[in-house]
Chains A and B, each alone.
Chain A
Amino acid sequence: MSVTVARDVTEAVKVPRALFLPWPMGHHFGVPFHRDLQRRVILAALKLLEESAEPGTIRTIRDLPIKWADVRREAKSMLTIQGQRL
């Protein structure tokens, strides 16, 4: 069960199941300190692990309606509270 931000590579290497998120490299599970978002990604991946019957299934953002711009904004506010900058 893979969580990927590179769909074309994942299609090519033929993993059994993958959750594709069109997010920047290094941000597979979201943004810093956004615990809820990180959990949602993991749980979506684990749900696919339990449900997927077709080898090579790649589930996309359409099944996990989260916009990167929104989570980025939420991350900035979280870091601002901590006195850090994103």
Chain B
Amino acid sequence: MTAADKTPAPAADPREAGTQLRPGLWQTINERYPGSMIRKESFVSQASLSKPLAESRLTLISSCGVHCKTDPPLDVCHPFGDFRFKRVPSSSKQRELIIHQLKYPHDDADLDLNVIFPIERLQELHMERRIGSLTPNFFSFIGYNMDPERFERTVAADIADAVVQQEHADCALLAPA
């Protein structure tokens, strides 16, 4: 047996393998967020674009907690979370927006909001006609909520209704901070 034979094979790089450091940690999201209505056997729904992206209207939804500086912030200190959401005009400039969120590091996003809420990049892609149009408003909320059932019934349902019925979006880009 040579020295080379004793050398253990290097573990697969989780980035290359497309996994994270603790694969299989949860069988279902319900183990981490008790009360969620999503189950392991739940059906994964999918709708396809009905027209080319260059003719479609896109919205942006993020749990990054960004809002207009002129709006009061969401409650970042409530132990159960804030079950409201904010509309962010899609024509906003970065200097008009601010992040209020304590549950993820946003130092870099404070320097350049586009790392988590790419509003300026989407405006550019719309100007270049890569995207047909943007909804008048984008959406933001605080991802920390300790009552998933209430969250799905309020924030998630209300945003979904607004995206479809008020903003008439064809597709949505999600950025779950």
Q: Which residues of A are in contact with B by a Cβ distance under 8 Å?
A: 1-4, 6-10, 12-17, 20, 22, 24-33, 35, 38-39, 41-43, 45-46, 49-50, 52-56, 58, 60-62, 75, 79, 84, 86
CB distance from B1 to the nearest CB of A (A): 35
Q: Is B72 an interface residue (CB 8 A)?
A: no
Question: Do the beta carbons of A31 and B115 come within 8 Å of each other?
Answer: yes
Q: Is B20 an interface residue (CB 8 A)?
A: yes
Interface string of B147-177 (1 = CB under 8 A from A): 0000000000000000000000001111111
Contact partner of B115 (CB less than 8 A), chosen from A16, A28, A53, is A28
B residues 98-118 in Cβ contact with A at 8 Å: 104-106, 108-109, 111-112, 114-116, 118
Q: What residues of B have a CB within 8 angstroms of the CB of A3 in the complex?
A: 173-175
Q: What residues of B have a CB within 8 angstroms of the CB of A33 in the complex?
A: 111-112
Q: What residues of B have a CB within 8 angstroms of the CB of A4 in the complex?
A: 176
Contact partner of B109 (CB less than 8 A), chosen from A14, A20, A26, A41, is A26
Q: Is B92 an interface residue (CB 8 A)?
A: no
Q: Is B19 an interface residue (CB 8 A)?
A: yes
Question: Do the beta carbons of A6 and B173 come within 8 Å of each other?
Answer: no
A39–B115 Cα gap in the complex (Å)? 10
Q: What residues of A have a CB within 8 angstroms of the CB of B28 in the complex?
A: 12
Q: What residues of B have a CB within 8 angstroms of the CB of A75 in the complex?
A: 108
Q: What residues of B have a CB within 8 angstroms of the CB of A39 in the complex?
A: 121, 124-125
* Secondary structure type dominating chain B contacts: loop
Q: What residues of B have a CB within 8 angstroms of the CB of A1 in the complex?
A: 171-174
Q: What residues of B have a CB within 8 angstroms of the CB of A10 in the complex?
A: 176
Q: What residues of B have a CB within 8 angstroms of the CB of A46 in the complex?
A: 53, 130-131, 173
In order of increasing CB-CB distance, the 5 nearest A-B pairs are: A12-B29, A32-B112, A60-B18, A16-B46, A55-B46
Q: What residues of A have a CB within 8 angstroms of the CB of B74 in the complex?
A: none
A62–B17 Cα gap in the complex (Å)? 8
CB distance from B73 to the nearest CB of A (A): 17
Contact partner of A14 (CB less than 8 A), chosen from B38, B64, B172, B176, is B38
21 CB contacts below 8 A, A to B, read A6-B20, A8-B22, A8-B23, A8-B25, A9-B29, A12-B38, A16-B46, A16-B47, A22-B20, A26-B116, A26-B177, A29-B115, A31-B112, A31-B115, A32-B111, A38-B121, A55-B45, A61-B15, A61-B18, A62-B16, A75-B108
Q: Is B3 an interface residue (CB 8 A)?
A: no
